[in-house]
Amino acid sequence: MRSRIPVACAALLLAAACSQAETLISKDYTIDQVRKAAGEPIGKMNQGNKVIWLYRRGNVTFINGKVTNVGWLTEAQFAEKTRRQQEKARAAAEARAKKAEAARKAEEARKAAAAARKRNAPGESLAPPRAAGQHNYVPPFKRNPSESAKFIGEIPVEFEAILMPKKLVQEKNIQIGRFTGKSRRKALSGLQAALGKYPAELTDNTVNTIYFPSQILSGGDRVGGFADISSRKIYITNSRTFHHEYGHVLLHSFYKLFPRKDWLALNDRDYTDDGRIVRVLYEARQRYGSPYYHDKGFINRYAMVSLHEDFAETFEITMAHPDIMDKTQRNSERISKKIDLMVRFLNDIIAHISGKESVVKRENLLAGE
């Protein structure tokens, strides 16, 4: 006949067994016997007449106060479980740290954008450049960048918050296809290179905001860009177009400094003067075929539309394709002289807003510097 093991001995055996990841808790043990053998559980689950006691190493199931099932981890299983729990806790801590860092950077960006808006809020003046205390030029605009704006120097570049004046909305049909990821980085890099061709004291004080939609429709036709002249905001779909629209902004904003009579003297006389808009007669545009553009003082056919387009096209080709302009001006005395007038105009603008002299040089423009 088999002898029974006393409860006290069972407790000692159970303590030794637990250290070896085994248990001597037998079925039909009572709740009190299990408590003496394994101690208090770390949790309990009640399911009708079934009670499950939870331990770090396993669990014990009771039905009607008697043990019906014992599940206990071996030493290796418990070590593996502990390792996984520690890895999970470490990963969770790292995730929380990354989230906190991202939140910190987002808050810094939000504060920087708020500070930029505050600096340029209505009622405040944009800090003007000064030279020897003689100049006090204040740009006739107030910047109001969004939190998503990127900045090149002082100029906000908007890819998302593309705002349109009501007057332009009536004239233009603009579709806002936002650049994202690689396309946005490429567009921003191209625009940064384009702006890098100008002295910062010029662009920072003559460009309000640059908007970068992926497509602009005007009257059903796709266009590369346009400028809101009154507020000096420029809308472009590619960085090259910036030069053309910026030419319009400069000519309109500083028309009194532009050597208009000298410029017109370099073109043939097939012109009609309509106030500030000087247009080439339609018959003259038809008569001047492509071989005659440069001889007549025009960089291309579109430059013959008006004085403003003539300057904008000459300005764009010089800034975007200096190699083409250099070759052209070598074979056209009229265009060569227009470049001289354009350089003079840019330097007059810079002198007007900052007091600096001879910042832009002809040879640097034609070298693409």
Which among 160, 151, 143, 154 is positioned nearest to 211, based on CA atoms? 160
Which residue, among 299, 309, 297, 362, has the nearest Cα to 333 in the 3D structure?
297
Burial of 344 (0-12, 13-18, 19+ CB in 10 A): middle
C-alpha–C-alpha distance, residues 207 and 232, integer Å:
6
- pLDDT, position 208: 92
The pLDDT of residue 223 is 78
Regions in the chain scoring below 70 on pLDDT? 1-24, 116-136, 165-180, 218-220, 268-292
Instruction: Measure the CA–CA gap between 353 and 359, rounded to whole angstroms.
Output: 12
3 state DSSP class of 234 = strand
Question: Is the whole model's pTM more than 0.85, yes or no?
Answer: no
What are the start-end ranges of the H helices in 204-306?
A: 239-253, 260-264, 282-287
Six token digits for residue 172 = 């233009």
Q: Are 347 and 359 in contact (CB under 8 A)?
A: yes
For the chain, the structural domain boundaries read 7-73, 83-121, 150-366
DSSP lists the bridge partners of residue 45 as: 52
| Helix orientation angle between 31-38 and 7-19, rounded to the nearest 10 degrees | 50
Domain 150-366: state its class: alpha beta
Which residue from 42, 40, 38 is spatially nearest to 26, judged by alpha carbons? Answer: 38
Convert the pLDDT of each residue in 276-328 to its tens digit. Answer: 445 555 555 555 444 457 777 888 878 877 888 889 999 999 998 999 889 88
Quote the pLDDT of residue 249: 93
Dihedral sign for Cα atoms in the order 218, 219, 223, 228: negative
| Partners of residue 215 on adjacent β-strands | 175
Helix, strand, coil shares of the chain, percent, nearest 5, are: 50, 15, 35
- Token couple for 259: 């050597």
Indicate the angle between helix axes 239-253 and 181-195, nearest 10 degrees. 40
329 closest CA partner among 339, 321, 342: 339
What pLDDT is stored for residue 245 in this prediction? 93
Helix (H, G, I), strand (E, B) or coil at 183: helix
Query: H or E segment at 223?
Result: strand 221-223
